[in-house]
Amino acid sequence: MKRLTCLLLALCSLPLVAQVPDSLDRDRSKYATYSFSKDDQYKVETPYATVRVQQPKGKKVKNVIFLIGDGTGLSQWSVGWVANGGALNIDQMPVAGYSRTYCTDRLVTDSCAGGTALSSGQKTKYGYIGIDENAEPIASNLHYAMKKGMKTGVTVTCRINDATPADFCVHGPSRGDEEGLAAQYVGCGVDFISGGGTHFWNQRSDGRNLIEEMKAIGYTYVDKLEDIADAPGDKFLGLYDEYDLKPALDRGPILMESTMKAIRMLDNKKGFFLMVEGSQIDDWAHRNKVGYMCEELFDFDKVIGAVLEWAERDGQTLVVVTADHNTGGLTLLKGSIEERTVKVHFSTKGHDGIVVPVFAFGPGAERFAGVHENAEIGQIVKELMR
């Protein structure tokens, strides 16, 4: 009997041992409660509610909120719409058009050249950040807004010195110069800066601590989600991870909190220009993982919903949503709106040359209807800010 008791106790203990994870992988994250067993299939257990807004009647553009879903084409929005049960906040945008994304020396662009066209209204070479074909600096619409006396901001889920935010704030011939791009943020004049990448700010090869330098010129520094909302002052620097931010479900609503904090902080009589990027939609499309991609898209779309509600109340804010390029050659093969399931196919782990959508809301939104070159989007934004 004593042997039998010991044997039963040993057997009962086996499942407990088996359940102990042997590494800190994604199975220990919030993604463990979602259906990530197959990278080409996804099911949303609990869809989120979407907003309802009406297009304002005014014509004056005082503020611009420019939202970029990195790598987010028609297929990504279609997949997300099905997975969330047939509803997205993007559905509330009254005007839609298309953007051709090629750059001056390649048919299939990258985020550097694609983002520069959107930020400045000028196409450039593959890999160029905020510079023209002759490697001369180009002023972005953020710089133009700053010159007009408007307040400015960028908030992203990648490192702040990555291609898209850098396209709006700084200049360079290569995204590989990560320390050099980060250093340009010191004294750049942007009022609100939020993203990741502390490694390039305080673990630099030149020994500089850019965070301390920013604090010395008046920026409030924040490195935690819970500290964003109540951060004091009129200059904000938020860096929440050593490199890019964690995946959407693990990092929490950093993009939402930082976007709404930026709007509150930047809102003033002269207006503001704010660029918001859903950066990691592109990352997970590159990795061909549809579940992660969907959650990044949902994180971005929730921010769009909050922005639209604020812009509706304000009545003088132009909201534009587009992408720098399409990623993954994504095809929606089958699924169910009612069951919130999708099955997809990725034809590439890279970018592709398919046109991307442009959505607009608020005064001047009608200007974005139709087919445009990506540089035209930047040009129209600048014209509406005059």
User: Which residues are tagged catalytic?
Assistant: 111
Sign of CA dihedral 370, 139, 323, 155: negative
Tell me which amino acid residue 272 is.
F
Q: How far is it, in rounded angstroms, from Cα 233 to Cα 336?
A: 48
Q: How far is it, in rounded angstroms, from Cα 112 to Cα 103?
A: 10
Hey, which bits of 182-336 come out as E strands? 192-196, 220-222, 236-239, 272-278, 317-322, 326-327, 330-336
What distances in angstroms separate CA 5 from CA 2, 15, 249, 302, 318, one per listed residue? 5, 17, 44, 55, 73
Q: How far is it, in rounded angstroms, from Cα 294 to Cα 326?
A: 15
Residues with Cβ within 8 Å of residue 384, at least 6 apart in sequence: 61, 64, 318, 363, 364, 367
The residues facing 274 across adjacent strands are 65, 153
Q: Which residue has the tokens 């220990």?
A: 28
Closest CA to 316 of 263, 278, 352, 355: 263
Sign of CA dihedral 360, 87, 74, 165: positive
Give phi and psi for 189, each to the nearest 5. 90, -5
Contact 355, 371 (CB under 8 A): yes
